[in-house]
Chains A and B, each alone.
Chain A
Amino acid sequence: MKRQLILEDGTFFIGEAFGSTEKMVGEVVFNTGMTGYQEILSDPSYCGQIVTMTYPLIGNYGINRDDFESIEPYIHGLIVKEVCKIPSNWRNEMTLDEYLKTKNIPGLAGIDTRKLTKIIRQHGTLKGAICDLDVSIHEVVESLRSTNLLNDQVKRVSTKRAYPSPGRGHRVVLIDFGMKHGILRELNKRNCDVMVLPYNATAEEVLRLKPDGIMLSNGPGDPKDVPEAVEMIRGVLGKVPLFGICLGHQLFALACGADTEKMKFGHRGSNHPVKHLTTGKVAITSQNHGYTVNEQSLKRTRLQVTHVALNDGTVEGLRHLDYPAFTVQYHPEASPGPEDANHLFDEFIGMIEQFKKEGEMVYA
């Protein structure tokens, strides 16, 4: 069945529908990863977005039981050049089409995704709608223009209530702004006794759990839409070692007095080089963000830039000069993407241990 994608600038692409036949509006973005579509479509950070995969053949290895990054996907649509109807992989359980149908997510195949990608690159991310052919393009464009995109994505995707993921090691409070399972997995791997809290947990609620460390997760949207989190971070900063990823990084920057801004089309893919300024070493990282920390705004803070994106120089990592706290814009938990930055979780554990030791010395 033919359906179409209409962009707010009036461009439209007619393709073959797969997944659900729902009409869906969202911010159209692209991801350059050649593998990892299952992780991408289940990454809550894509909440409210229609994702275009630049690699043309998607769905080749099907959908398996293991590679979801959240239980429910929040993506608003998936656009590909070709969707694989008969996948082949030993873990395959269903086709991408079947999965999107069960989750009521529309997909569109058979369009010139490279052309679409170039439009996004040139104009920046656009609003778009996946819909049937019998609509008036003009009307859809009008309504897209007047529609405001979601601003409550974090609320939508965060856990509604706290829950534990017990372990025998350090206690880490993990604030779920739209957490990928990968973060939890990495903490569990390191025996952490994890308490997952909703995005709007207060500093008191966090501290009451007597954490050894606090982890700020990734999540969707504009960090400025989550002022309660900024408040909470201010309340815990310096009291407990802190590590933030992606949205967590941006919220941390806001809490420390820096500013964030929207990027033209963001960073989404598995091949983003990030340079560690101290060692000069580059890690290839997995990224998914449409906002970034404004570098100029860091001047008035006690934050130091530790990592930058090699290609556009944007801020990719921060460290607090006075407190045990560091954050990165990219995804050290990978899935999908390279695991080059996985050691950051070890550094977080190291920081927790160092803080404990120093604390013991102070209070000895």
Chain B
Amino acid sequence: MPKRKDIETILVIGSGPIVIGQAAEFDYAGTQACLALKEEGYKVILVNSNPATIMTDTEIADKVYIEPLTLEFVARIIRKERPDAILPTLGGQTGLNLAVELANAGVLEECGVEILGTKLEAIKKAEDRELFRSLMKELGEPVPESEIIHSLEEAYEFVKTVGYPVIVRPAFTLGGTGGGICTNEEELIEIVSNGLKMSPVHQCLLEKSIAGYKEIEYEVMRDANDNAIVVCNMENIDPVGIHTGDSIVVAPSQTLSDREYQLLRNASLRIIRALGIEGGCNVQLALDPHSFHYYVIEVNPRVSRSSALASKATGYPIAKLAAKIAVGLTLDEIINPVTGKTYACFEPALDYVVTKIPRFPFDKFESANRRLGTQMKATGEVMAIGRTFEESILKAVRSLEANVYHLELKDADKISDERIEKRIRKAGDERLFYIAEALRRGISIEQIHEWSQIDRFFLTKLENIIRYESVIKENIGNLEVLRKAKMLGFSDSTIAKLWNKNEREIYEIRKQEGITPVYKMVDTCAAEFESETPYYYGTYEDENESIVTKRKSVVVLGSGPIRIGQGIEFDYATVHSVWAIKEAGYEAIIINNNPETVSTDFSISDKLYFEPLTIEDVMHVIDLEKPVGVIVQFGGQTAINLAAELEARGVRILGTSLENLDRAENRDKFEQTLSELGIPQPKGKTAFSVNEAVRIAQEIGYPVLVRPSYVLGGRAMEIVYKEEELLYYMENAVKVNPQHPVLIDRYLIGKEIEVDAISDGETVFIPGIMEHIERAGVHSGDSIAVYPPQTLTPSIKRKIVDYTIKLAKGLHIVGLLNIQFVMYKDEVYVLEVNPRSSRTVPFLSKITGVPMANIATKVILGTKLAELGFKTGLHHESEGVYVKVPVFSFAKLRNVDISLGPEMKSTGEVMGKDVTFEKALYKGLVASGIHIRSYGSVLLTIADKDKEEAIDLARRFYHIGYQLLATSGTAEALKAEHIPVTVVNKINADSPNILDVIRQGKAQVVINTLTKGKQPESDGFRIRRESVENGIPCLTSLDTAKAMLQVIESMTFSTTVMPKFAKFQEVIHS
């Protein structure tokens, strides 16, 4: 069927900020879709609140709106732009929910906007549990016994009939937010109450638990002509019970016979047909491991994380085709972009094994509950491809960048058998590693199967790996064993350990003996057709298919899995760098392992190597490709950390030299540079022992900022106010030794300022300066950043520009640099310099119109900034005000303290832009999910040190008509200033106490400041968690609170009484 000619303009809705459950996969999907629609000649309007996305680049759509994804703003855009149609199935749950809201509000009808792809009816049928269940019943597809409930009473009724355990799934939430498994009444009360709150329609599904079934997913596509295909099926190694986003997943399924495969395929196709979906759809099924009996668990009538994974696993670009189908094209008339010869209407055949392992944020959130269940907790994922299962999973393990290169636990010898059993029975993020340890201890597969319900097939494969460890160990120097070990996916570093050699030696032996990988193509068709996709993976086989061209090439290292501190911003810069390399006439080669991202779309680079980012795997690509050099500036700390070893192995690092990278990152060298340049920095020193740390802190004075050297996203960084805290930190948070020193700096309580710049060594171009709302001490990634600065004097700005230029030149930066300053008592100090692309590069690029990563790449490749028309200094300021607001995923992470500090906690960001600061911030806050009300109640629990500052804040809240609630201490302070306040009981006091107030929704904002240090004062912690779990904004920085208040003030009118005539006579006569 030809494409539709009756529509011209299409509005695409993005998925907003990165949160757990909704990550970079939607930038990948949205970008593909926008480009596909443009390719077909449609005018594309895009709306997304997330500036760190490729899709919001103005080249991707005809018109780009970076606005909050709320009914209010999107309706405004629709009324203004009058698109003919809207495509909501590419923006995740956010896009889908918004489309439903727009339809329900009558906006679509009013403006004559058609929903493309999947019709509203189908969305409702798939998303509304009741409608879904009745549809399944109609189709004869089995669903687990379940009940839609709207109250706790209804939950009790259901449990009475089916018994425990039951699964709770709140309706219309992201990544299963608020769900869980209940095995007893206590858990039932907690999870159901929470789930009802989280669901926008106050509805949960209670379901008989079928934990232990095989969890199988089918990615299916259908077009308007009813052609329906399966792109890929996937098997979760973790059986039903763990969210698929948190499960280790393999593609294709490994333990299903053809009959089982077809049984579930038929069910999936029946469902997509019954729903009438035109586009992609994900069907999750549970299969009894002992019969043909199965259940349909869930259907997502849109592209998803799984579809991104399926696209990367097969090469089949689901989102691109979903967009084409949405405008009426049918699968049989679309060419398969991978082969370029065959059609898209077929089912990919894989000739390799794909493994996906989720990346969890528990390295950052030590106190978090690591138990996995139906609520997703992973922030990102890695994917690896191999010709054996063992190779595939071991490559995935070392792609995680968790400092783990093999299936091993740290300090495994100290772990008791009991703990191992417990950790296998109750799955946490490290279960795979505990299983490996169990196997190492000789625990039988049967036993582990009984504990974990993981299929024996996978356990046997893991046992193969563990068994081979001893073979390697017993055959030191045996080349056949080495070869076999590499085929099983063992890393050089693991073999090195077993052979008592170093990693480099193993690598050299292999190179000498020709035990090196070849690269195979991912071609969708298992080599049946000739393909030209430049998408490769490494494996130990005979034939290499990656033909090195005669063109000069440049390798760019990607940033690996998305985690807190290294998010989508780095993929954004990586993609731009790749494009710039191509523009400069080189062949652009990328190495990365994150299946969610745009950078691993094979159509972005000239060659994509889907490989772990370890020295070994990167060197293999370099040995083959012999590039001009490697660019490490865009892949975040991942890539930077490889630079030294790459150079040691003779690889040329393009851009800022290794020596200068080190001068910026090594504390002592950096200090020396700064003093040479005459740039002040907070006093600080490096401690190599606990005693030394104490001495240094005394010397420079508390409070001090402590952190390990070479950190990512402020990991393990803390502000300590006294010696006991310092000692606690030194003993618990870090292991200080001469190889791993700890940095101790004076903590200056001042305004934080951030700058990104591009330098070629001669010219230093500064696209913009950003001012943070929160004072220094809150990680820059968690602060609200404002452009242009609102409070800086011209002389301070000049100073910042001057320091930036000096630093860029002094450090001989070639490429990008990011500097954080603190302004303290009118003096500017340098906090840190990152000689690489930063988190703010996409934000600043979009605001200023300066494609920073692109320009930096060209500079790295040798072009001078002057040739590109840039001069040293600050770019002229753009009109309007832009704010970057961080977005957190706290609701999904139990037991995590939400208070802001030097350690980064946010998962994503949004941008708000408008003509005034207040308007921009309003948009930013709304886009980040904070509900701003012009009236209501504010609950204050303020630490003594902040009380003085809080009084003014409280008074202003009072003036705009907010009711003030406060705990006794804070209330007294307010009363003393004659500010009316209602006292609420402390946590342990009688009901209604402060937690009840929060639970009952009696406060619209909670402001809670930390007493001191990091040790969670348990009351404060509970108040903060209670707020998060009840969806009430909880501000832990008075700066954020002030900014928010400013917004509320700007949207309300203060009401003050008229002055009295009391002194009338005096006035007259004076």
Contacting residue for B261 out of A35, A84, A282, CB 8 A: A35
Question: 1/0 per residue A310-330: CB within 8 Å of B?
Answer: 110000000000000000000
CB within 8 Å for A55 and B349 given contacts A338-B265, A339-B262: yes
- Please give the number of chain B residues whose Cβ is less than 8 angstroms from any Cβ of chain A in the complex: 53
Question: 1/0 per residue B250-266: CB within 8 Å of A?
Answer: 00111111110110011
B528 and A121 form a contact (CB under 8 A): yes
Give Cα A77 to B520, complex, Å: 25
A273 and B526 form a contact (CB under 8 A): no
B527 and A114 form a contact (CB under 8 A): yes
Question: 1/0 per residue A259-292: CB within 8 Å of B?
Answer: 0000000000111110100001110100000000
Give Cα A67 to B342, complex, Å: 31
Q: Is A57 an interface residue (CB 8 A)?
A: yes
CB within 8 Å for A34 and B350 given contacts A90-B289, A281-B226: yes
B290 and A90 form a contact (CB under 8 A): yes
A39 and B258 form a contact (CB under 8 A): yes
| Contact partners of B73 in chain A: CB under 8 A | none
B346 and A310 form a contact (CB under 8 A): yes
Contacting residue for B460 out of A33, A38, A88, A338, CB 8 A: A88
Give Cα A121 to B892, complex, Å: 50
Contacting residue for B528 out of A32, A84, A86, A89, CB 8 A: A32
Contacting residue for A88 out of B227, B349, B457, CB 8 A: B457
Q: Is A54 an interface residue (CB 8 A)?
A: yes
Could you tell me which residues of chain B, from 329 to 346, have a CB within 8 Å of some CB in chain A?
Answer: 330-332, 341-343, 345-346
| Contact partners of B341 in chain A: CB under 8 A | 311
CB within 8 Å for A115 and B541 given contacts A272-B346, A280-B332, A338-B265: yes
Give Cα A216 to B527, complex, Å: 32
Q: Is A60 an interface residue (CB 8 A)?
A: yes
- Please give the number of chain A residues whose Cβ is less than 8 angstroms from any Cβ of chain B in the complex: 52
Q: Is A91 an interface residue (CB 8 A)?
A: yes
Give Cα A81 to B526, complex, Å: 13
Tell me the smallest distance from the CB of A287 to a CB of chain B, in Å. Answer: 11
Could you tell me which residues of chain A, from 37 to 78, have a CB within 8 Å of some CB in chain B?
Answer: 38-39, 54-57, 60-61, 64, 66-67
Could you tell me which residues of chain A, from 304 to 353, have a CB within 8 Å of some CB in chain B?
Answer: 310-311, 334-339
Tell me the smallest distance from the CB of B6 to a CB of chain A, in Å. Answer: 20
B387 and A60 form a contact (CB under 8 A): no
Give Cα A151 to B259, complex, Å: 32
Chain A's interface: helix, strand, loop or mixed, by majority?
loop
Q: Is B799 an interface residue (CB 8 A)?
A: no
Could you tell me which residues of chain B, from 374 to 411, have a CB within 8 Å of some CB in chain A?
Answer: 387-389
A117 and B526 form a contact (CB under 8 A): yes
Q: Is B229 an interface residue (CB 8 A)?
A: yes
Give Cα A348 to B645, complex, Å: 69
Q: Is B127 an interface residue (CB 8 A)?
A: no
Give Cα A339 to B265, complex, Å: 9
A336 and B258 form a contact (CB under 8 A): yes
Q: Which of B226, B230, B261, B341 has the most CB of A within 10 A?
A: B261
Tell me the smallest distance from the CB of A103 to a CB of chain B, in Å. Answer: 19
Chain A residue nearest to B526 in the complex (CB)? A54
A60 and B526 form a contact (CB under 8 A): no
Q: Is B347 an interface residue (CB 8 A)?
A: yes
Chain B residue nearest to A85 in the complex (CB)? B460
Q: Is A36 an interface residue (CB 8 A)?
A: yes
Q: Is A112 an interface residue (CB 8 A)?
A: yes
| Contact partners of A160 in chain B: CB under 8 A | none
Chain B residue nearest to A34 in the complex (CB)? B252
Could you tell me which residues of chain B, from 825 to 846, have a CB within 8 Å of some CB in chain A?
Answer: none
Tell me the smallest distance from the CB of B648 to a CB of chain A, in Å. Answer: 33
A270 and B331 form a contact (CB under 8 A): no
Give Cα A61 to B226, complex, Å: 33
| Contact partners of A124 in chain B: CB under 8 A | none
Chain B residue nearest to A340 in the complex (CB)? B269
A269 and B543 form a contact (CB under 8 A): no
- Interchain Cβ contacts within 8 Å, total number: 155
A114 and B456 form a contact (CB under 8 A): no
Contacting residue for A311 out of B256, B266, B331, B346, CB 8 A: B346
Could you tell me which residues of chain A, from 211 to 241, have a CB within 8 Å of some CB in chain B?
Answer: none
Q: Is B81 an interface residue (CB 8 A)?
A: no
A88 and B332 form a contact (CB under 8 A): no
A64 and B257 form a contact (CB under 8 A): yes
| Contact partners of A176 in chain B: CB under 8 A | none
Q: Is B530 an interface residue (CB 8 A)?
A: yes
A112 and B541 form a contact (CB under 8 A): yes
Q: Is A82 an interface residue (CB 8 A)?
A: yes
Tell me the smallest distance from the CB of B1032 to a CB of chain A, in Å. Answer: 49
| Contact partners of A281 in chain B: CB under 8 A | 225-227
Give Cα A211 to B353, complex, Å: 49
| Contact partners of A167 in chain B: CB under 8 A | none
Give Cα A281 to B697, complex, Å: 75
A34 and B460 form a contact (CB under 8 A): no
A284 and B346 form a contact (CB under 8 A): yes
A55 and B350 form a contact (CB under 8 A): yes
B353 and A86 form a contact (CB under 8 A): no
Give Cα A35 to B331, complex, Å: 24
Could you tell me which residues of chain A, from 96 to 126, have a CB within 8 Å of some CB in chain B?
Answer: 111-115, 117-118, 121
| Contact partners of B528 in chain A: CB under 8 A | 30, 32, 54, 117, 121, 269
Chain B residue nearest to A40 in the complex (CB)? B258
Q: Is A87 an interface residue (CB 8 A)?
A: yes
Give Cα A282 to B543, complex, Å: 35
| Contact partners of A57 in chain B: CB under 8 A | 254, 353, 388-389
Tell me the smallest distance from the CB of B221 to a CB of chain A, in Å. Answer: 11
Chain B residue nearest to A92 in the complex (CB)? B257
Give Cα A334 to B259, complex, Å: 10
| Contact partners of A335 in chain B: CB under 8 A | 258-259
Beyond the given pairs A111-B542, A112-B542, A339-B262, 12 more chain A to chain B contacts, judged by CB atoms under 8 angstroms and listed by A's residue number, are A64-B257, A67-B258, A67-B259, A88-B255, A88-B457, A114-B527, A114-B543, A118-B527, A121-B528, A121-B529, A270-B349, A271-B348
Question: 30 pairs across A/B with beta carbons < 8 Å?
Answer: A36-B257, A55-B349, A55-B526, A60-B254, A61-B255, A64-B257, A67-B257, A82-B388, A88-B455, A88-B457, A89-B255, A89-B256, A90-B290, A91-B257, A112-B542, A114-B351, A117-B351, A118-B543, A121-B528, A280-B225, A284-B346, A284-B347, A310-B342, A310-B345, A311-B342, A334-B262, A336-B262, A337-B262, A338-B347, A339-B266
Give 10 nearest A-B pairs by CB, closest first.
A36-B258, A88-B457, A54-B526, A112-B542, A115-B543, A32-B349, A271-B347, A336-B258, A35-B258, A311-B342
